[in-house]
C-alpha cells in the first residue's frame, strides 16, 4: 500500500507506549497525529525528540518527522485521522481492579470531536481494561459523547499490546500475534489492515468479541507470571538441596514442548507496571464473579516472598551495620522504570534492618532515590560502589555490570561475598577475590 491509501491514525496518549506506537506507525508509512493533554509531550513530539527512555524511539521519530505530528486539539486529531488508538493509564484501585476513568475521559473528548466529523471512524482501546468494560461503560461513554451508535459509522475495538519496556519498538514491529476484540467485522478489518502494514512480518491476527479479548490480555500476563514464580519456587528448593542447580532443572523442564523455556528462569521476582497488577486484577475479577483463582493468588504470594528470601540470605552473610552495595534498581534492564522493582524493595528492607546501603543503576538511580529517600546513598560511580562495600548484590542484570573489574573486589585479608541474583557475573572470573553466589544453587 502507498501512504496515500493507508488509513490515517491518531494516537491518544504520548507516554511510554503511545509515543513508540506513533513512531512505529509513522516509520511504516502511516500519517500519524498524536494527541495529549501534556504540552511538554506534544512539543517534544513536534520537535522530533521525546523525553522517554526507550531504545530506537527517538531515532524513529527523527527519521519520520514528515509523517508525524502532535496536538492538544482533539478536533484536529480526529479530523486528520480515520482511526484513534487510545493508550492512557488505567491505574489499579484499592480492590485491584483497573480504573477506566482516563479511558472514559478520552471517550468523551473523542466523542465530542466526532460530532463534527463526517464519515467512518474507528476508536481502538489499547489501554488494558477489565473484562466486561469495553462493551459496556466504554462503549456507552463513546456513544453518548459522539451522538453516534457503534455500527456502520463508528467502529470500536479492544486491541491491547503485548510488549515490554526496554523493547517496545521491537515488540511492536515483531509481535507474536495481534489480538483484536471488535464491535463488528468492518472495524476489525480496518484494524487488521493497519497491523499487517505496521508489522515487519505478518503475524497471526486473532479476532473475537470484546470480553474474550479483554480476558485474553490479562490471562497472558497471569500465565507468564505463574511460570516466573514456579521457577523461583524451584530455585528456593534448590537453595536447600546440596548439589541442586535451578538452571539445570529449568533447562530440562523447558525442553519439554508442553512447558517451554521462555520466562522459566529461577532468579528474582517480577515487577514493573504490568505483571504484578494484571495478576492481582485477574484474582480480583475471579473473586467478584464467584470463580476461583488460587493459582494467580499463589503466584502473587510467591513473588512477594522473594523480598524476604533475599533479605534472609543477606542476614546469613552480614550483620546489621554492614556496608552493602546493591547494583541495579530498575525492574528489568534497558529501562529507568522502578515501579514494583524488587531491587528497590530489597534496598528499603535492608536499610530498615540497619544495613548501610549504597545503590547504583545506569538509568534508574535517580528514580529509585526518589522512592527510597534518605534510607540509602546513591553511588557516584560503579567502581566506587563495588570498592566501598562489604557485601555486593547484583539485583538487576544490566549488561554494564559484566564489566566489573575483579580488582575492585579485593579486600584485605578476606573475600568479598557477591549475591548475583540474575547470574550476571561469571564466578570463575572472580575466583581469586570473591565468592559469587547464585540463587537456586545448593552450595
Q: 95 a known binding residue?
A: no
Instruction: Say which of 157, 274, 389, 409 is annotated catalytic.
Output: 274
Is a pLDDT exceeding 60 seen at residue 20? yes
- Annotated active-site residue 199? The verdict is no
Domain with CATH 1.10.1040.10 in the chain: 219-301
The answer to whether residues 212 and 188 touch, using CB atoms and an 8 Å cutoff, is: no
Question: What is 308-438's CATH number, 3.30.420.40, 3.30.1360.70, 2.20.28.270, 3.40.50.720?
Answer: 3.40.50.720
Give residue 380's pLDDT. Answer: 96
Q: Are 172 and 20 contacting, i.e. CB atoms less than 8 angstroms apart?
A: yes
**CA–CA distance, 388 with 356 (Å, rounded to integer):** 11
Q: Does 261 have pLDDT greater than 70?
A: yes
In the chain, DSSP finds a helix count (H) and a strand count (E) of 15, 14
Q: Is 375 one of the annotated binding-site residues? A: no
The response to whether 90 counts as a known ligand-binding position is yes
Residue 294: HSE in the Cβ half-sphere, 13 Å Cα cutoff: 0
**Intervals of CATH 3.40.50.720 along the chain:** 3-208, 308-438
The predicted model scores a pTM of: 0.93
pLDDT for 3:
64
Per-residue pLDDT of 309-341, as tens digits, reads 999 999 999 999 999 999 999 999 999 999 999
- Average of per-residue pLDDT across 296-313: 96
- Measured CA distances, 360 to 124, 270, 352, 381, 382 (Å): 40, 19, 18, 8, 7
Per-residue pLDDT reduced to its tens digit, 62-80: 999 999 999 999 999 999 9
206 — pLDDT class (breaks 50, 70, 90) = very high
128 is in an annotated binding site: yes
Query: What is the second-level CATH architecture of the domain 3-208?
Result: 3-Layer(aba) Sandwich (3.40)
Which pLDDT belongs to residue 1? 56
DSSP string, 334-351: T----TT-HHHHHHHHHH
The reply to whether 217 sits in an annotated binding site is yes
| Architecture (CATH level 2) of domain 219-301 | Orthogonal Bundle (1.10)
Amino acid at each position: 500500500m502507498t501512504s496515500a491509501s493507508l488509513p490515517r491514525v491518531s494516537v491518544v496518549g504520548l507516554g511510554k507506549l503511545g509515543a513508540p506506537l506513533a513512531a512505529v506507525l509513522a516509520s511504516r508509512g502511516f500519517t500519524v497525529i498524536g494527541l495529549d493533554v501534556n504540552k511538554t509531550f506534544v512539543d517534544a513530539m513536534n520537535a522530533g525528540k521525546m523525553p522517554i527512555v526507550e531504545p530506537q524511539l527517538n531515532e524513529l521519530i527523527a527519521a519520520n518527522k514528515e509523517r508525524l505530528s502532535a496536538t492538544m486539539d482533539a478536533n484536529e486529531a480526529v479530523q486528520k485521522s480515520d482511526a484513534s488508538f487510545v493508550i492512557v493509564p488505567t491505574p489499579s484501585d484499592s480492590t485491584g481492579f483497573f480504573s477506566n476513568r482516563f479511558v472514559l475521559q478520552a471517550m468523551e473528548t473523542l466523542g465530542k470531536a466526532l460530532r463534527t466529523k463526517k464519515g467512518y471512524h474507528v476508536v481502538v482501546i489499547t489501554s488494558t481494561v477489565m473484562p466486561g468494560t469495553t462493551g459496556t461503560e466504554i462503549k456507552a461513554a463513546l456513544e453518548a459523547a459522539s451522538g453516534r451508535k457503534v455500527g456502520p459509522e463508528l467502529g470500536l475495538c479492544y486491541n491491547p499490546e503485548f510488549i515490554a519496556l526496554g523493547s517496545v519498538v521491537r515488540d511492536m514491529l515483531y509481535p507474536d500475534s495481534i489480538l483484536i476484540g471488535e464491535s463488528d467485522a468492518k472495524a476489525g478489518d480496518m484494524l487488521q489492515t493497519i497491523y499487517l502494514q505496521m508489522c515487519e512480518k505478518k503475524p497471526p491476527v486473532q479476532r473475537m468479541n470484546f470480553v474474550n479479548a479483554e480476558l485474553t490480555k490479562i490471562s497472558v500476563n497471569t500465565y507468564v507470571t505463574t511460570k516466573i514464580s514456579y521457577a523461583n519456587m524451584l530455585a528456593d528448593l534448590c537453595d536447600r538441596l546440596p548439589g541442586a542447580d535451578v538452571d539445570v532443572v529449568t533447562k530440562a523442564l523447558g525442553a519439554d514442548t508442553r512447558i517451554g523455556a521462555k520466562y522459566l528462569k529461577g532468579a528474582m521476582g517480577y515487577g514493573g507496571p504490568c505483571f504484578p497488577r494484571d495478576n492481582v486484577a485477574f484474582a480480583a475479577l475471579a473473586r467478584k464473579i464467584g470463580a476461583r483463582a488460587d493459582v494467580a493468588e499463589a503466584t502473587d504470594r510467591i513473588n512477594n516472598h522473594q523480598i524476604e528470601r533475599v533479605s534472609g540470605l543477606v542476614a546469613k552473610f552480614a550483620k546489621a551495620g554492614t556496608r552493602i552495595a546493591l547494583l541495579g534498581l530498575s525492574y528489568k534492564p534497558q529501562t529507568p522504570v522502578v515501579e514494583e522493582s524488587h531491587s528497590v524493595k530489597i534496598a528499603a528492607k535492608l536499610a530498615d534492618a540497619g544495613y548501610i546501603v549504597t545503590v547504583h543503576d545506569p538509568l534508574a538511580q535517580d528514580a529509585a532515590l526518589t522512592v527510597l529517600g534518605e534510607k540509602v546513598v546513591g553511588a557516584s560511580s560503579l567502581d566506587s560502589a563495588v570498592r566501598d562495600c562489604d557485601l555486593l548484590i547484583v539485583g538487576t542484570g544490566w549488561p554494564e555490570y559484566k564489566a566489573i573489574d575483579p580488582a575492585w573486589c579485593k579486600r584485605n585479608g578476606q573475600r568479598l561475598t557477591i549475591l548475583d541474583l540474575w547470574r550476571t557475573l561469571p564466578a570463575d572470573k572472580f575466583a581469586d577475590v570473591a565468592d559469587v553466589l547464585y540463587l537456586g544453587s545448593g552450595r
